[in-house]
Copies of this chain bind each other. A is one copy, B any other.
């Protein structure tokens, strides 16, 4: 017979606690991702991964706006191949520019275009609104 008591244990969490916490997080992230995806797609024609790329690119300080694809990958959650395609989609949509690096011709520099920054700034309020709704819903 297991105990049902829910004491506020601050020590080592049990397996059940770790597992329940993980499952809850998994659900919450799925729900929030879906809500963001829908809102961004409907209101701005952006997927969640696409928005995340814009978010990272918009975060680099101006002047040093270019970013190597590898460095972008390190700041994201996508595999190299998925990121390559996501960037390609954004490029096709005219939201960013791709440029070869002169010093290392393997590398690819990526930079927000004017319309890319515009799109990001338009989409950010949607992103924050949905995010706060979801956080509040938990």
- Inter-chain contacts of A32 with B (CB < 8 A): 22
Chain A residues touching B, range: 20 to 34
Copies of this protein in the complex: 2
For residue A134, which residue of chain B has the nearest CB? B22
Interface of A is mostly: helix
State which of B30, B55, B132 has its C-beta within 8 Å of the C-beta of A77.
B30
- Inter-chain contacts of A19 with B (CB < 8 A): 55, 127-128, 131
Are the CB atoms of A18 and B135 closer together than 8 Å? yes
C-beta contact mask, A34-68 vs B, less than 8 Å → 1, else 0?
00000000000000000010010000000000000
State which of B15, B29, B131 has its C-beta within 8 Å of the C-beta of A29.
B29
Chain A 116-138 residues near chain B, CB threshold 8 A: 127-128, 131-132, 135
Q: Does A31 touch B at the CB level, under 8 Å?
A: yes
Are the CB atoms of B77 and A27 closer together than 8 Å? yes
Contact sample, A vs B, 6 pairs, CB 8 Å cutoff: A15-B128, A18-B131, A18-B132, A22-B131, A23-B52, A27-B76
Beyond A19-B55, A23-B55, A25-B25, 8 additional contacts (C-beta under 8 Å) are A18-B132, A18-B135, A19-B127, A19-B131, A26-B52, A27-B76, A27-B77, A30-B77
